[in-house]
Structure 1
Amino acid sequence: MGRQSLLPRRDFLALGTAAAASMLLPDRAFASIPTGVKLHGLSAFGDLKYPADFPHFDYVNVDAPKGGIFNFGPSQWVFNQNPYTFNTLNSFVPRGDAPPRMEMCFDSLMTSAQDEPDSIYGLLAESVTISADRNMFEFALRPQARWHDGSPLTAEDAAYTFTLFKDQGHPDLSLPLREMTQAVAADTGTLRLTFSGKQSERTILDVATFPILSKAYFAIAPFDSSRMKAPLGSGPYKVGLVRPGQTIEFERVVDYWGRDLPVNKGQFHFDKLRIEFYGDRQAAFEAFKKGEVHFREEATSRVWATGYDFPALTAGKVVKREFPSEKRPLMYATAMNQRRERFRDMRVRRAIALCFDFEWTNKSLFYGLYNRSQSYFERSEFKATGVPSPDELTLLEPLRDKLAPEVFGEAYVLPPSDGSGRDRKLLRESQKLMADAGWKRSGQFFQNAAGETFRLEILADDEGLVRIYGPWAENLKAIGFDASIRLVESAQHQARQASFDFDMIAMAVLFSPTPTREGMDGIFHSRSANLQGSRNLSGTADPAIDMLVEAIDRVKNRQELTTVLRSLDRVLRARMDWIPSWYSANHRVAFWDMFGFNETKPDYGFAMEALWWFDKDKAAKIGKA
């Protein structure tokens, strides 16, 4: 499915008095969480599932054995991480390519439960206390917390980290901290984070899950992408073997200070996590077939449909199966870079979208395994359908003069093609849209009034994407675009994405099950449009979208959140800043039959490296003991 990023978990601007009033429905909300008392967890809506004395999360196996190695290809990653190569071990800066799972070397103040959509529980922090004005959060750190060198992890480390992230961190870290005014250590065991009052009520649900760094380490080491020495960590794993750009191993910390905490029990069973980096998917698949890689999530439909007939699978040594996807909104789409003027006209963006023939692609290239994306929040209740509800209209009506008319009708959908690969009706409609936008066909290509040719380059870092984009580019050229595909190696792709040096580029985002303003800010809000390294690849900077994103701050329950996000989805779909692509309802995975796992996976996570374990008996049966 192309690149996939896992974003972090987490003032209703004046839309009129009636609009604000309609959103304040009675219900339990974050604002009802008591102040001035020590809390073991926080939740966006409703009560916590787990009480203060819970022994462990329900979805873990506390009796699973320790040992073995898990050599896998990550299918999700965060911050500046890259699954194809790496040139830094600092995962928290805007630039560079870090290996996935560096975050497993660091602890956070609190951590998520994978069977709840919006709750976090104490990890480094044994409790959190909210001030009366709800702008200050006091975390009591566990005195036994230690760095891997045995030195104490203190509130000074945490205060240093949040200040560092705000000033120099990756946008996924810096944006949620923009309203933080102070991070101080009241003493070695007490951290106080203070906000301006303009922050979202739920900002803390993001911020409290950020990794904590060592002040002593980074006081003498630059906080940049030059780091090929592993920073000092505190988490369940530490960096072992490193072959830059090729291999990284994470070794389980046997005397990990937090191994017996309720939030950690029954997790982190493998002695080693190993990631091999391959230049292309076919090479990775060949390594899996040989048993050099143990787990693979298949992202290529052709391979899933035709490639799994190798000897190890037919002999029963490899298991091929599907697991249900998480109950989390997914956006897989292609961004059109509006920092380049020729992409700023909505008619142009729609014209480009009409040239992609999903029906032909799904039949001819995907073996019918995918569904067409229409929404920016696929697979979730946040996807807009039909006409706007009365509550949605309350949000949208004050913005009517700023929005496309389609927002107020049926939710905009890309029309299906005839499946021929070159639907003449849709291509004619695309040409008309271009003419309406002032681009006339002159010889082979569209030109504007200034005589400029419409050049369009789709940036890709995988041969599989070139295969998919090829027919799209041919359709674009057929009607008058000077269209091409540029295949670059992964590090260059990441660098060009971070600096917005592209015309069109694809990205997948798996949102939190309870999306927050901070998550939306980095992709859709104008404040991230020119922040290099942000996920706002399209350069979206629209006051109406800003207002809807900021409306997330004031929702009081999930019903209100759904209303805001459906309204946002309607506006984004009508604008077509991103062209929705495709999605799957399940994880398609294959693995060597040497692991144990609980058959029922949690609804909001699929962390095999943390929850699965090595099964010696199974391994012996297939010669992998």
Structure 2
Amino acid sequence: MRPLNFPRWCRIGAIITLVLLPVKGLADPSHGIAMYGDPALPPDFVSLPYANPQAPKGGRVVTGNTGGYDSLNPFILKGTAPWQLRFLAAESLMGRNWDEPFTLYGLLAESVETGPEREWVEFTLRPEARFSDGSPVTVEDVIWSYDVLGTEGHPRYHGFWSRVERIEQTGERKVRLTFETPDRELAMLAGMRPILKKTQWAGKDFSQSTLEDVPITTAPYVIADFEPGRHVTLHRDPDYWGRDLPFRRGTHNLDEIRIEFFGDGDVLFEAFKAGDLSYIREFNAEAWANRYDFRRVREGDIVKSEIPHQKPSGMTGLVMNTRRAPFDDIRVRDALLHAFNFEFVNDTLTGGRQPRITSYFSNSILAMRPGPAEGRVAELLTPYAEALPPGTLEGYTLPQSDGTSRNRGNLRKALRLLADAGWTVQEGRLANEAGTPMRFEILLRQADQQTQAIADIYSQALERLGIDVRQTTVDNAQYTRRINAFDFDMTDFRRSLSLSPGNEQRLYWGSEAATQEGSRNLMGVRSKAVDEVIDALLASESREDFLSAARALDRVLTAGRYVIPIWTYAVGRIAHVKELKYPDTVPIYGDGAEWMPATWWYEETEE
């Protein structure tokens, strides 16, 4: 593995301390805006710290997705679009520096200004900003984009728009948004909405766009070619308007990015081994250690790179839909957590190489502390003590097994919990007092072999408890439709979290989102305590308040027993052709679409 000039822990500590200082409104237009404090990069910065401004342009890479797609519009609920399009084929007024917890710098906008309490935000467009068809980006395009995304776009855009009191043109290239409620993060979110071309959609229903309706954007890449179910090909726009911006210098270096589609992960991996793909991300430590001993690796044509990061673990595992019985009973969810033999699953599938997620913000300064809640955390949670999940205030840790395949001790605990909830074994099947057997479905994506392997092991344990569990595997399109409609009992779950959690937490776990079709609150959390702690998080004006609110939220969610956690991805793993290079400095957020392939380049290697 190549050596990395990775930011040290003292550096991230200093950054977090800086950004958690009390915020003040921007008195004058600025080149950037931070959630707290001032942007780390000066107005005359040369490039992002993790980009190589001397990186050569050119080259072609091929990557792979599993499943298929039936849309090229990633901004609406309808259909399934290649996930990369949100990151590579769209732009916003501001762009994020992934080497700071949450700071934005001018992209389509040359400057940003806010009111004293961030009750409004105003952006000034760059005069040179252009769509890929050469037409200028106007304030009218910006206002229309906010409106259509907030009303007809994907639900992830609706929450922000509902909190905008008005949007108006305040100058030839100026647009101002005024907010209904005090929330300093809204000014940040305003800078991150994708900007689309209004006239493209004249007379069309944006929410019902088809494969023929490829959104026109301002991004460095445009969709050059596609074949449904087979591939999507992006070309770097040679006339891209922002190629000389400091924010873009050293990024988007590849001339062509082709996305090939495969039926499942095994077929994708074989394509990579054969040289049909340029890189692959590996999420299984056991596979990383043992599966990459093939000829192209041994001969040096393939390089294995490990990418560290300093972000929270987030939550990965199997989520239970509390909108449905029996998952609306926390005793049942607790029993199902005890029945999940993580130690055995981890040893079987990863060789025990990957540590378990212990909470939503584990592996970070935002994680809940062990033992009883204290200080400000206790103050935030105590008013809701009677309604809090057991263990929230007292302290909660995930069940641990003895590592054997039978997991006898935890299964006995699971049976006791189920009995308390009214479920007992009757004629070999678990049933309630009415004699109705407990049965549920684990919904899986067709190409997700790892989760299928986890579910196979887990199902055996559930069957020993007398639970009738079935696994249903569907294609990506059907999976997306069912998830958007909350039509599932249990399914796979992945929620990445940042060092600066904010309004997205409402969409993830807020009560309002629990009933909003297409929201990311898959488990259906409806908790006054969660809602109030998120409010406290957003209203924080000091480092202590921010950390306490995050740790309080972590406690309620973890003790709520909504997800059966698996392992944390403590390091990114990318196997790639030797011609693909990346800068020595890696951002604190590590790997991601806006780092790889966005800051990588192609360089022929001399023999």
- Residue of structure 2 aligned with 1:34, choices 26, 39, 53: 26
Q: Report the counterpart of residue 431 of structure 1 in structure 2.
A: 415
Cα contact 1:38–1:128 (8 A) shared by 2: yes
| Per-residue Cα deviation, 1:330-384 (whole angstroms, up to 9, x for no partner) | 2113211111132111100010111111111111221122111120123211221
Q: Which runs of 5+ in 2 are unaligned?
A: 1-18
- Residue of structure 1 aligned with 2:275, choices 270, 286, 291: 291
Cα contact 1:124–1:142 (8 A) shared by 2: yes
Q: Equivalents in 2 of 1:579, 1:441: separation in Å?
A: 23
What is the aligned-residue RMSD (CA, Å)?
A: 1.8
Specify the SS of the correspondent of 2:391: helix
Question: Which range moved further: 442-451 or 110-119?
Answer: 442-451
- 5 Å-filtered alignment, 1:467-616, equals 467-516=453-502, 518-606=503-591, 607-616=595-604
Specify the SS of the correspondent of 2:307: strand
Question: Which range moved further: 217-226 or 524-533?
Answer: 217-226
The alpha-carbon distance between structure 1 residues 134 and 204, as it changes in their structure 2 partners (threshold 3 A), is closer
Q: Report the counterpart of residue 315 of structure 1 in structure 2.
A: 299
1:73 Cα offset (Å): 4.0
Taking structure 2 as the reference length, the TM-score comes to: 0.92
The answer to whether 1:271 aligns with 2:263 is no
The alpha-carbon distance between structure 1 residues 199 and 94, as it changes in their structure 2 partners (threshold 3 A), is farther
1:185 Cα offset (Å): 2.7
Cα contact 1:94–1:532 (8 A) shared by 2: no
Q: Equivalents in 2 of 1:376, 1:338: separation in Å?
A: 18
Q: Report the counterpart of residue 3 of structure 1 in structure 2.
A: none
- 5 Å-filtered alignment, 1:327-346, equals 327-346=311-330
Q: Report the counterpart of residue 44 of structure 2 in structure 1.
A: 53
Specify the SS of the correspondent of 1:430: helix
Q: Equivalents in 1 of 2:115, 2:589: separation in Å?
A: 30
1:186 Cα offset (Å): 3.3
1:496 Cα offset (Å): 1.1
Cα contact 1:511–1:519 (8 A) shared by 2: no
Cα contact 1:163–1:183 (8 A) shared by 2: no
Q: Equivalents in 2 of 1:520, 1:273: separation in Å?
A: 32
- 5 Å-filtered alignment, 1:152-551, equals 152-196=136-180, 198-229=181-212, 230-387=214-371, 388-410=373-395, 412-461=396-445, 462-516=448-502, 518-551=503-536
Q: Equivalents in 2 of 1:560, 1:65: separation in Å?
A: 45
The alpha-carbon distance between structure 1 residues 27 and 265, as it changes in their structure 2 partners (threshold 3 A), is closer
Cα contact 1:29–1:44 (8 A) shared by 2: no
Q: Equivalents in 2 of 1:246, 1:413: separation in Å?
A: 45
Question: Which range moved further: 38-47 or 265-274?
Answer: 38-47
1:445 Cα offset (Å): 2.0
Specify the SS of the correspondent of 1:583: coil
| Per-residue Cα deviation, 1:551-586 (whole angstroms, up to 9, x for no partner) | 112111333222111111111121101222211311
Taking structure 1 as the reference length, the TM-score comes to: 0.90
Give the counterpart letter for 1:234 in structure 2.
Answer: T
1:146 Cα offset (Å): 0.8
Question: Which range moved further: 505-514 or 298-307?
Answer: 298-307
Cα contact 1:312–1:318 (8 A) shared by 2: yes
1:405 Cα offset (Å): 4.2
Q: Equivalents in 2 of 1:539, 1:85: separation in Å?
A: 28
Q: Equivalents in 1 of 2:464, 2:471: separation in Å?
A: 15
1:199 Cα offset (Å): 4.6
Q: Equivalents in 2 of 1:285, 1:140: separation in Å?
A: 46
Q: Equivalents in 2 of 1:235, 1:105: separation in Å?
A: 5
Q: Equivalents in 2 of 1:211, 1:451: separation in Å?
A: 53
Q: Report the counterpart of residue 15 of structure 2 in structure 1.
A: none
Question: Which range moved further: 454-463 or 529-538?
Answer: 454-463
- Residue of structure 1 aligned with 2:53, choices 54, 62, 66: 62
Q: Equivalents in 1 of 2:549, 2:295: separation in Å?
A: 51
Q: Equivalents in 1 of 2:117, 2:49: separation in Å?
A: 34
Give the counterpart letter for 2:54 in structure 1.
Answer: D
1:520 Cα offset (Å): 0.8
Q: Equivalents in 1 of 2:483, 2:170: separation in Å?
A: 40
Give the counterpart letter for 1:397 in structure 2.
Answer: T
Specify the SS of the correspondent of 1:446: strand
| Per-residue Cα deviation, 1:83-120 (whole angstroms, up to 9, x for no partner) | 53211011011231001222322221101112111110
Give the counterpart letter for 1:374 in structure 2.
Answer: T
Cα contact 2:313–2:357 (8 A) shared by 1: no
Specify the SS of the correspondent of 2:441: strand
Q: Equivalents in 1 of 2:47, 2:61: separation in Å?
A: 23
Q: Equivalents in 1 of 2:207, 2:78: separation in Å?
A: 8
Q: Which runs of 5+ in 1 are unaligned?
A: 1-25, 75-82
Specify the SS of the correspondent of 1:549: helix
Q: Equivalents in 2 of 1:413, 1:176: separation in Å?
A: 34
Q: Report the counterpart of residue 21 of structure 1 in structure 2.
A: none
Q: Equivalents in 1 of 2:317, 2:216: separation in Å?
A: 37
Q: Equivalents in 2 of 1:537, 1:98: separation in Å?
A: 20
| Per-residue Cα deviation, 1:147-187 (whole angstroms, up to 9, x for no partner) | 11111110110101111111122122212222112222334
Q: Equivalents in 1 of 2:404, 2:20: separation in Å?
A: 51
| Per-residue Cα deviation, 1:308-343 (whole angstroms, up to 9, x for no partner) | 121111111111231113424421132111111321
Cα contact 1:166–1:178 (8 A) shared by 2: yes
Q: Equivalents in 2 of 1:488, 1:511: separation in Å?
A: 27
Cα contact 2:335–2:414 (8 A) shared by 1: yes
The alpha-carbon distance between structure 1 residues 280 and 238, as it changes in their structure 2 partners (threshold 3 A), is same
Specify the SS of the correspondent of 1:224: helix
Give identity over the alignment, percent: 35
| Per-residue Cα deviation, 1:109-138 (whole angstroms, up to 9, x for no partner) | 101112111110111111122135632211
| Per-residue Cα deviation, 1:180-203 (whole angstroms, up to 9, x for no partner) | 12222334411111211x252112
Q: Equivalents in 1 of 2:287, 2:120: separation in Å?
A: 52
Question: Which range moved further: 299-308 or 349-358?
Answer: 299-308
Give the counterpart letter for 2:62 in structure 1.
Answer: N
Q: Equivalents in 1 of 2:406, 2:73: separation in Å?
A: 46
1:245 Cα offset (Å): 2.1
Give the counterpart letter for 1:490 in structure 2.
Answer: N
Q: Report the counterpart of residue 16 of structure 2 in structure 1.
A: none
- 5 Å-filtered alignment, 1:53-202, equals 53-73=44-64, 84-103=67-86, 104-132=88-116, 134-196=118-180, 198-202=181-185
The alpha-carbon distance between structure 1 residues 307 and 343, as it changes in their structure 2 partners (threshold 3 A), is same
Cα contact 2:310–2:364 (8 A) shared by 1: no
Specify the SS of the correspondent of 1:375: coil
Cα contact 1:421–1:471 (8 A) shared by 2: no
Q: Equivalents in 2 of 1:475, 1:42: separation in Å?
A: 51
Cα contact 1:376–1:580 (8 A) shared by 2: no
